[in-house]
C-alpha cells in the first residue's frame, strides 16, 4: 500500500519510520540539527509550499525526509 503526500508524491507504507508535526518538533534543537544534516546530505525531498509535517522513510536502504504541506493528523488518517 501507498500513502499519498500531496503534490503527486507517494511513499510505500512499509518504508515509513515516522510522521512528525513541524510545529511541535521544530522547537527542539535536536530536530533542527537532524533536518539541517539531512538537507546538507541531500536526503530532504522538499514541498512547494510551507511544510506542516515531515516523514522519515527508508527507501532502498537510504533514509529520506519528505516535507509535506499536509498535517500529521491528515497523514495518519490516510494510513488507516
Angle at 59 between CA 55 and CA 64, to 5 degrees: 40
The conformational region for residue 15 under phi > 0 = left, psi -120 to 50 = alpha, else beta, is: alpha
Is pTM beyond 0.85 here?
Answer: yes
Query: Mind listing the pLDDT tens digit for each residue in 36-51?
Result: 999 999 999 999 999 9
pLDDT of residue 59: 87
Q: Tell me which residue of 50, 52, 64, 53 sits closest to 16, measured CA to CA.
A: 64
Grid coordinates representing 23? 510545529
Give residue-wise pLDDT tens across range 21-31.
Answer: 999 988 899 99
User: CA-to-CA distance for 10 and 62, rounded, in angstroms?
Assistant: 16
For the cut 90, the answer to whether the pLDDT of residue 80 exceeds it is no
C-alpha cell of residue 38 = 539531512
Amino acid at each position: 500500500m501507498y500513502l499519498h503526500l500531496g503534490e503527486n508524491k507517494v511513499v510505500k507504507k512499509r518504508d515509513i519510520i515516522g510522521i512528525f508535526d513541524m510545529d511541535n518538533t521544530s522547537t527542539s534543537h535536536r530536530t533542527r540539527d537532524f533536518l539541517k544534516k539531512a538537507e546538507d546530505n541531500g536526503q530532504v525531498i522538499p514541498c512547494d509550499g510551507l511544510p506542516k509535517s515531515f516523514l522519515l522513510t527508508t527507501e532502498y536502504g537510504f533514509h529520506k525526509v519528505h516535507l509535506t504541506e499536509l498535517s500529521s493528523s491528515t497523514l495518519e488518517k490516510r494510513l488507516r
